[in-house]
Amino acid sequence: NGQPVWIRGVNRHDHHPHFGKHVPLETMREDIRLLKRYHFNAVRTAHYPNDPRWYDLCDEHGLLVIDEANLEAHGNYETIAHDARWAPAFLDRVQRMVLRDKNHPCIIAWSLGNESGYGPNHDAAADWVRGYDPSRLVHNEGAVKSRWHQGCGWSGDLGGERSNDLVDPMYPSVESMIEWSKRRSDPHRPLIPCEYQHAMGNSNGDLDRYWAAIYRYPGLQGGFIWDWVDQGLMQFTDDGDWHYAYGGDFGDQPNDDVFCINGLVFPDRQPHPAMAEFKKLVQPIWGEPVGADGRRIRLHSRRFFTDCRDLAGSWTVEVDGRVVQEGKLPRLRLPPQGVQEVTVPCRQPQLLRGQEAVLHLLFRARAATAYWEEGYELAWEQVPLIGETAAVSTTPQAAAVGGLTVDDGKRRLQIADAAGDFLAQFDKNRGVFTSCRWRGQEWFAGGQPNLLRAWIDNDGVRQRKDISDHKPLGRWRACGLDRGRWACIDSRFHQRQGRVAIEAVHRFTSAGHAAGVTAEQRWQLHAGGRIDCDVRFLVDDSLADVPRLGLVFTLPAGMAGLEWFGPGPHESYRDRKTGARLGRWSSTVAEQYVPYLVPQEHGNHVDVRWLALRGESAGLLVAGPKLLSCNATHYPVEDLLPTRHTSELQPRATTTLYVDLAQRGLGTGACGPDVERRMQISSGRHRLRFSLMPVTPEQDPDLLALTVKGRR
């Protein structure tokens, strides 16, 4: 009908965890259902023609397909495309694909293969395709690869038009895509990366930046994420347990280790958290506030073919994550690519100082389809609201009576309050709390500075030095970050006006490496149990990029009920948080574990206003004057680092709590650009401030958190 489309695509292998390349029809239907539920509209059949039944389903359900010939030449990348002896093989494989699949209307382009360079053998195959089927595009990434990566493709002609109707590089940076749009010399060819955003483990950082560029810059028309499903195979161990196996688990040598585990969904088709990020970025409708109060919203349709009458809109006003008003939006009259303004009839919310109000818009399916049930959430938006702030906020907890006493021993300090509620022990040599008790129960211990996270696959492949040496993991290992230790080089305390201040200086170093990090901590203890923490980190100039900066605590068994106010409900990171909605969330620590096939960093939450961990009677509240990054888990870093499979892990009864200033972004660097500079943690001075407070079952953590002055 002459309308353009954005290619919201993904690369897909035929794969099943039990049957390998034989995929049951029901699993294919589940793939279709998930692709539709998460707003994908295109598939590249990487790197061979897929099961014929797949094309029948794509015809039926309207998915666009780039059909790829079974032609790859990694080991002879620059040679056989120019070798005339191989010309019949090139032509034969492309012809067989076209002749088999030509009657499928889902196919929009024929791919001449994958990563096999570019030469006259490709041109010969492309000539045959154009003569036989001039109705479809021809794709050949190798025809633009060399000049794109040489960096000279923007001011001159990328070339390769004889066998390529697209500009389709692999893993371009956002900056290079924008530069191409500004300086392109072949405006008749759209830029559609055939692979971008390598979804390996905990990944897909910067996906928001890619789609912001696609929506804004002419000629950028989407792309295909690598890839759909983790290609793990179910393997039983000698003790009857099982795990998803990958390279090296079969005694296979050589192998590519974990490089087949790079999907957006697990082998059983359970989505990775990154799927929510993609769904939000490409949702069919989005909104922006018009005016200062946030009540008038301009809605935009991203559809090109249908209107939005199938969507039912509703709204809520939420104050610190609690719904205080709600209603329905008028019926949408949004034509394809249309705009509609609506006024939400909400009242100005009443706020205590420090509270936040948002207008939450939700768009659900009016009717059930083959892909979703009636009421399925298809899109959402959140808009900050200006509320009427009370002059004085209420204080939810009576001030504690009396001050603190200190027993100064040779190796430890013991601090207690007069009411007998609070008792803390601080190791002066190690510079950490060995025990904090509140109302007779163990509360928490620790407080040691921390730099490490369990390596994600984008940091580097742990078992492959040839891959990881030039990645961040290689740099960190070279600096000894994985072998170093923290030493307390000074500690002291002061007592004044019923409060106790403890100061400790820690230094992180590794044997044979002069570079390190200094952490100057100041703990201020109050009667009643509140502890204010102020940490100043100094990262040496030679450590220009560290994994994280924060403190780590241990909480006793049983304190594993989790609440937080911040983005959720799934994990979020600095460069992957667009798909996480600001709200008040309840969960458990056990539910925070994400079973990536290679155990790694998981369960983090950024932009946290407060986080509470509760037991039956005692609880710990963390809140700061600025937004925090927090992670509560039964699997501390030291348990995850040496482990190859989730099945090998045993959850600890205790909870490890990481309270961070920041953690390095995720990026997509296992096979693509590294994390952008602003998502790294640079050398220099950094400051982390937060408070720890006891919280009882009857107390509202949000009101208690408001007592932390300066909260955003």
How many residues in the chain? 712
CA 229 to chain centre: 16
Rounded to whole angstroms, how far apart are CA atoms 712 and 706? Answer: 10
Region for residue 112 given its phi and psi (left: phi exceeds 0; alpha: psi -120 to 50; beta: otherwise) = alpha
* Tokens matching residue 148: 């794109």
Instruction: Considering only CA atoms, give the Rg of the chain.
Output: 28
Q: At 604, give phi and psi (nearest 5°).
A: -75, 155
The single-letter code of the amino acid at 593 is Y
Closest by alpha carbon to 618, among 691, 690, 563, 561? 561
Distance CA 537, CA 521 (A): 9
Are 371 and 37 contacting, i.e. CB atoms less than 8 angstroms apart? yes
SS3 content of the chain, % helix, strand, coil (to 5): 20, 35, 45
Q: Residue 422: beta bridge partners?
A: 438
Distance (Å) of CA 549 to CA 220, 295, 449: 37, 39, 8
- Amino acid letter for position 263: G
- Residue 195 a catalytic site member: yes
Do 69 and 89 touch, CB atoms closer than 8 A? no
DSSP code string of 434-454: EEEEETTEEEEEEEEEE---P
Measured between its terminal Cα atoms, the distance across the chain in Å is 49
Reduced to 3 states, what is the DSSP secondary structure of residue 579? coil
CB of 517 closer than 8 Å to CB of 449: yes
- The dihedral of CA 50, 55, 56, 62: what is its sign? positive
Give dist(CA 532, CA 399) in Å, integer: 16
Report the distance separating Cα 329 and Cα 342, nearest Å: 8
Burial of 248 (0-12, 13-18, 19+ CB in 10 A): middle
CB 686 within 8 A of CB 549: yes
The residue from 30, 68, 78, 115 that is catalytic is 115
Catalytic, out of 195, 318, 442, 571: 195
Burial 655-664 (b: 16+ CB within 10 A, else e): bbbbbbbbbb
CB 597 within 8 A of CB 645: yes
Q: Which residues does the annotation mark as catalytic? A: 115, 195
